[in-house]
Structure 1
Amino acid sequence: MNRKAIKRKTARAAWQPAESEPLLKNDFRVLIWVLAVAGSLLAIFSPVLISSDLGTGLKYGLDLDGGTWLQLQLEGAVVQASADETKIISQEYERLLGTGVTVTDATSTHITFTFNGTASNETIDSLGYGSSSSTFSDNRTSVTLSATKQQVLQRFLSGRLDTEVVFTQRGDEPAYEIRKSVTEDGLNSLLKPVGGKVSYFSDAVTTNTRDDTKTILDRKLNGLGLKDIQIRPSDKYLLIDLAGVYNLSEAENIAATPGKFEIRLHVEGNRTEHVLYGEQIDEVGVPRVDERGAWGVPFTLNAEGAGALRDAAIRYNATREPDRHSLIMYLDDRVVYNATMTDSLAAQIQRAPVSDLVASTGTGGKEAARELQVHLRAGALPVTLKVIGSGQVSASLGEQFKLQLVFAGIVAVLAVAIIVALRYRRNRIIVPMLATSTSEVIIILGFASLPPLPWLPLIGQFFGWQLDLASITGIIAVVGTGIDHLIIITDEVLHGGKLPPIKIYKMRVLKAFSIILMAAATVFFALLPLLTLGFGSLKGFAITTIIGVIVGVGIARPAYARIIHESLKGELAVADEDEDYE
């Protein structure tokens, strides 16, 4: 036997697996591929994850399931402004005290002013410009407020605009987020009397406020038992898909209601005093009906809220004269409960803080009680939402889209099968290629069937997403590009109708994967901006395509390269090492 023959025989023995061992045990790439397909089928058809009418864990978007969509604008603005804090203090306290006020000193942390007469610290602190200390001499009071210039301007804007104003940053400069719809001209008119003006104005809220709004809306809509809710944020808008909800007015009422809950105590006449907000509620029970037939929602206050209720009740003598003081509960400035405290409740509050209360919505108020429960559990929206667009997709139209997509998928698979059959005319190539392509679709759908992972930044959006028209289009695109890659691998493996020896085979597969990886990287980075900048269905297309690229390059293509070589060994001859492979 000559040297070349010995060399060829040795090379073949080195790469050919033992015929008695199954392929699955020989190659970890095939094992990973099989496990990925099996896991995806389990996710799709698992009884735990089933959420659709077809008995799968797949979740369909609005255009496939029907329902209502809303486009909401977050009302608010971020501004940079300046003002003379001494003029603010003078004007505000002159209005409160009814007498002239003179600012005598202003530092970075304190402001001192004087006025004729006297006033309690409680009265002075009621404006919210900071804690005060005062001295009285010669019928004149001197007050020192602990407040910075930014705090004074923040409180001034909040009081005059009757809304929450949050201190924030724009770059390295201080800014204010006004959680209300305002205009730049309106702010300049407000600040002009106190020597101020607006230097920067943007009619959009901060990213944190937008994300908080989205989170609260998620809790509200989930609390109503709605399925397949998708909220897509952009700079100033939220686009909400309410699959299965066909009552447009109900959807608008649920999504656009701020849900601000407040408890106030009636003091005397028409005067009421603020006690606490919904943020001080720890637990919310289920709606229930009492012996009088009145519906109500039980809730539990935290220690701070219970203490605030007790302090207010004792301060205004409501614990000793409960029949003269009403406890009033508001939801978005609408009274949902107004009744005097019972003698037993007043006695309990006098002894110790009481945390367990019930907000009654009256007889026949079951739906109102359910709505109140949702708002109490979810919390108040930080900003008001304005409905600027809405629409519906009927259930019948959604079913029609599903049928059309199934038909399009079948046509795509048949077209691919015909092209591959015409090119190779070998079942040992056609079957593995179509099986690999089908497996990629199964694995993609497996990711879509998994529970969402919103707590994982960036990566979490690749799990539990909804199938819509755009994402199905992405799957079809993945099938097309996947077949292209499989053809590249197949052509590299075959050479003149023969299989190359293992050393040459590996070199050619590496060459094929260098082309495939470059193409996949181009697609990945081209679609990556849509994950953060995409609005609407474009993001679903990007997610589907990126998952398909990662699954194909990382799992399906390596397994196919091994399978196709093993499949053709029984049909084709192995070429000699000294043959030309260039």
Structure 2
Amino acid sequence: MKAKKILRNWRVIILLVFVLLSIVSLNPRPMREGVAIRSVQLDSAAADSGMESPLGTTRPIDREYIIKVNNQPVTSVDEFYDAMGPLEVNKSVLIETNLRTYRPIVKEDFEIIELNETEIINITEEIYVNETINDTVVLVPKNVTTQKEVPKIEKIPLGPQGIGIKLYDLPKTNLKKGLDLEGGTRVLLKPEENITSEQFDLLLEVLEQRLDVYKLTDMVIRGVSDLEQNRFVLIEIAGASESEVRNLLGSQGKFEAQIANESVFFGDQIDYICRDPTCAGLDPQRRCSNNGQTWSCPYRFEITVDEEAAQNHKRITAGLEVVQMDGGNDVLSEKIDFLLDDVLVRSLFIDSDLKDSEQRTTSITGFGEGHSEQAAAYNALNDMKQLQTILSTGILPVKLEVSSINTISPILGVEFLNNAILVGVFALLTVGIVIYLRYRRFAISIPIMVTMLCELTILLGAASLINWNISLAAIAGIILVVGTGVDHQIVITDETMSGKSASVYNWKDKIKNAFAIIMGAYFTNVVALIPLIYAGAGLVQGFALTTILGYSIGVFITRPAFAAVVEILLKE
């Protein structure tokens, strides 16, 4: 009878709904076997076979994972390399994932030495030219071979190259483990001089764009500050060693603009990139348009390059043809390609007015699309901002110094996680025993333990939903939340059980008194934790935010449900 009352209580129903949603968000799959793909190296054998790095927004359970290698099942990273065996140049490796099968062909690794000589090579490329077909002028692709003088190189073979993938143990839930538990490298960078908020935001954008070229999935770049308001850049890359991270950060972020495979200018030849509304934004000369299905909004911003870059542009575009696009716009037969660290990141058409032009200041144009005019304008401005960042990538707006760099091995991370789980289980058992010894009634001790587990489930479910990384600091916060939750439930139980012999036996007043104590403690704790969000350059942010989230879940979801259960069970 009391069980039906409990299950029909609206506070308990809310608790159960949140528990169910949390389980759905966690999506636990304990029986899965395989190894997950963390990242795929550019221009590697794996990349050539079609394998791609998972998107950063892909949830852990939904990421591609390897099931078999050379027809042998694999359940760990060590088993993967054992099954792959010794690599041989030009031999393929059969890799079967949950999505498809790949056959990467092992490449030979070389040491490349540039000689003090040059050679002429032939470059074949596809261009578009105007041709008249059935009295209609259309764009037709045409292969053109040009010659280019390049430095002569010598290749020294070093043996077979790795296939170019990084792996990690297959996740069993959607919880994302932090660097402390996953293994990897954390770097804290500090600007060498004081900069404005706008410059700091630009610095973060440039660093993110620079590192994004390498398709690193589990990478976090964010700005943090300490209690003295000193700004830092925190970079966390899971599964990376200190030397790999230093090499990534030490790269100059080479930006290059090419037309027809010839260099027009490099990043250090850009003198100015306009970000001011007077010369950057939606193009006032061309209005947003609608083709019946989607809206399109054009944007433009000005850049200024040095004299040499302007002369290169004039020389290269002088020999290009003018072609007409479907919309009637006249453009040159070759696009301008933007490369970052030799990786193509953007290609744009060149307006016919810029043919044989030696202007140092010119406009970069593009457009954004959307289902409405407002969405198209928003996407256009976002695309413009990204393109401005790409052009700025070669040079950081301020010099950075490494304040600290820490590397945690994956093996150590596993030990941390196992120890944390062991401590958590021990704490739960200890609390359960103490509660039973205190009240000597299962009707009280069991609801406290069940509520504690429900609170833990909801907290982990919320963390997985917002892609919050569970670190050691966050686990410390979870333990604190569970302990505080038990304390609050004891307060509710004692307030409810006290006064049974009193002449006035008002359950609502007892619950109200208990919640007055709980809410006072809640607000006090939250106010005390807020400074920790900004302390230690953000390194204890996980503890503070996890604890605040856990307190809030407890006070507004689990405590009211527990109070209702206690009232039903103890009310005579």
TM-score by length of 2: 0.54
Aligned-pair CA distance for 1:57: 1.3
Seen in structure 2, the aligned counterparts of structure 1 residues 372 and 437 have a Cα distance that, compared at 3 Å, is same
Q: For 2:446, what is the secondary structure of its paired residue?
A: helix
Deviation, 1:59, is 1.1
Alpha-carbon distance in 2 for matches of 1:229, 1:307: 30
- Decide which moves more: 491-500 or 432-441: 491-500
- Superposed, which structure 2 residues align to 1:19-58 within 5 Å? 22-25=5-8, 27-45=9-27, 49-50=59-60, 53-58=170-175
**1:254 and 2:248 correspond:** yes
Structure 1 portions without partners, runs of 5+: 1-17, 77-203, 283-301, 323-340, 362-367, 452-463, 575-582
Give 3-state SS (helix, strand or coil) of 1:57's partner: coil
CA contact (8 A) 2:176 2:470 kept: yes
- Corresponding residue SS for 1:345: coil
Q: Which residue of 1 aligns with 2:562?
A: 560
Q: Paired residue for 1:416? A: 431
What is the identity, as a one-letter code, of the residue corresponding to 2:59? Answer: L
- Could you report, residue by residue, the CA deviation over 1:123-154 in whole angstroms, capped at 9, with x for unpaired residues? xxxxxxxxxxxxxxxxxxxxxxxxxxxxxxxx
Shift of 1:508: 0.5
Distance 1:238 1:256, change over 3 A: farther
Query: How many corresponding residue pairs?
Result: 362
Aligned counterparts of 1:317 and 1:442: Cα–Cα separation in 2: 62
Find out whether 1:62 has 2:179 as its counterpart. Answer: yes
Provide the residue aligned with 2:496 in structure 1: 493
1:343 CA drift (Å): 6.4
Moved more, 433-442 or 43-52: 43-52
Distance 1:552 1:499 in 2: 30
- State whether residues 66 and 394 of structure 1, in contact with CA within 8 Å, keep that contact through their aligned partners in structure 2: yes
Aligned pair 1:391/2:412, yes or no?
Answer: no
- Matched to 2:20, the amino acid is A
User: Do the aligned residues in 2 keep the contact of 1:441 with 1:479 (CA within 8 Å)?
Assistant: yes
> CA 1:342–1:378 in structure 2 vs 1: closer, same or farther (change >3 Å)?
closer
Matched, 1:369 2:364: no
Q: Structure 1 residue 561: deviation in Å?
A: 0.3
CA contact (8 A) 2:272 2:303 kept: no
- What TM-score results when the alignment is normalised by the length of structure 1? 0.54
Distance 1:407 1:519 in 2: 29
Once the two structures are superposed, residues 27-82 of structure 1 have per-residue CA deviations (whole angstroms, 9 ceiling, x without a partner) of: 32212211111111111117973358332111111111101111212233xxxxxx
Give the superposition deviation at 1:259.
Answer: 3.7
Contact 2:255-2:339 at 8 Å conserved across structures = no
Q: Which residue of 2 is the match for residue 242 of structure 1?
A: 237
1:428 Cα deviation (Å)? 1.2
Q: Which moved more, 1:382-391 or 1:538-547?
A: 382-391
Corresponding residue of 2:522: 520
In the alignment, the residues of structure 2 paired with residue 314 and residue 34 of structure 1 have an alpha-carbon distance, to the nearest angstrom, of: 66
Deviation at 1:536, TM superposition (A): 3.5
* Cα offsets for 1:187-209 (capped at 9, x unmatched): xxxxxxxxxxxxxxxxx212332
Give CA-to-partner distance per residue, 1:145-169, whole Å, 9 cap, x none: xxxxxxxxxxxxxxxxxxxxxxxxx
Contact 1:276–1:305 under 8 Å retained in 2: no
The alpha-carbon distance between structure 1 residues 206 and 491, as it changes in their structure 2 partners (threshold 3 A), is same
Unaligned residue ranges in structure 2 (runs of 5+): 30-57, 62-168, 282-297, 348-385
**Judging changes above 3 Å, is the alpha-carbon distance between structure 1 residues 54 and 20 closer, same or farther for their aligned structure 2 residues?**
closer
Q: Contact 1:231 / 1:240 at 8 angstroms: preserved in 2?
A: yes
Are residues 352 and 255 of structure 1, via their aligned partners in 2, closer, same or farther at CA, if it must alter by over 3 Å?
same
Give the direction of change, closer, same or farther, for the CA distance of 1:22–1:215 in structure 2 (3 Å limit): farther
Cα distance change of structure 1 residues 306 and 530 upon mapping to structure 2, 3 Å threshold: closer
| Aligned counterparts of 2:553 and 2:471: Cα–Cα separation in 1 | 20
- Could you say if the C-alpha distance between residues 213 and 471 of structure 1 is closer, same or farther in structure 2, counting changes exceeding 3 Å? same
Distance 1:49-1:264 versus aligned 2 partners, 3 A rule? closer
- For 1:252-331, list aligned pairs within 5 A: 252-255=246-249, 257=251, 259=253, 261=255, 263=257, 304=300, 322=315
Max radius of gyration: which structure? 1
Q: Give the CA deviation at 1:255.
A: 3.8
Per-residue CA deviations over 1:229-269 (Å, capped at 9, x if unaligned) read 253522232122211112x33323434556474659999xx
SS in 2 for 1:390: strand
- One-letter amino acid of the structure 2 residue matched with residue 241 of structure 1: E
Aligned mate of 2:512, from 496, 510, 513:
510
Q: Structure 2 residue aligned with 1:217, among 204, 207, 211?
A: 207
Q: Residue 446 of structure 1 corresponds to which residue in structure 2?
A: 461
Residue 345 (str. 1) matches residue 314 (str. 2): no
The SS at the match of 2:435 is helix
Q: Relative to structure 1, is the Cα distance of residues 500 and 254 closer, same or farther in structure 2, using a 3 angstrom cutoff? A: farther
Partner Cα distance (1:275, 1:530) in 2: 42
Report the CA distance shift for 1:317/1:430 in structure 2 as closer, same or farther (over 3 A).
closer
Amino acid at match of 1:541: F
Does the C-alpha gap of structure 1 residues 274 and 39 become closer, same or farther in structure 2, counting only changes over 3 Å? closer
Superposed, 1:114-153 pairs within 5 Å as none
Alpha carbons of structure 1 residues 354 and 207: separation in structure 2 relative to 1, 3 Å:
farther
Change (3 A) 1:317 1:437: closer
Aligned to 1:245, what secondary structure does the other structure show?
A: coil
Distance 1:34 1:228, change over 3 A: farther
Deviation at 1:370, TM superposition (A): 3.6
Instruction: Give the aligned partner of residue 437 of structure 1.
Output: 452
8 Å CA contact 1:509, 1:561 repeated in 2: yes
Tell me which amino acid in the other structure corresponds to 1:227. Answer: D
- Partner Cα separation in structure 2 for residue 472 and residue 317 of structure 1: 58
Letter of the structure 1 residue corresponding to residue 6 of structure 2:
L
Secondary structure at the aligned position of 2:234 is classed as strand
Cα distance change on mapping 1:351 and 1:231 into 2, 3 Å: closer
Cα root mean square deviation, aligned:
4.3
Change over 3 Å in CA distance of 1:482–1:275 after alignment to 2: closer
Mapped contact 2:25–2:464 kept (Cα < 8 A): yes
Q: Distance in 2 between matches of 1:211 and 1:314?
A: 28
Displacement of 1:425 in angstroms is 1.4
Q: 1:359 to 1:278 in 2, by over 3 A?
A: farther
**What is the CA–CA distance in structure 2 between the aligned matches of 1:217 and 1:313, rounded to whole Å?**
27
Q: Quick one: structure 1 residues 378 and 439, their matched pair in 2 at CA, closer, same or farther if it must change by over 3 Å?
A: farther
Q: Give per-residue Cα distances to partners, 1:488-530, cap 9 Å, x unaligned.
A: 10011113678998x7011001001111111111100001122
Whose strand proportion is higher, 1 or 2? 2
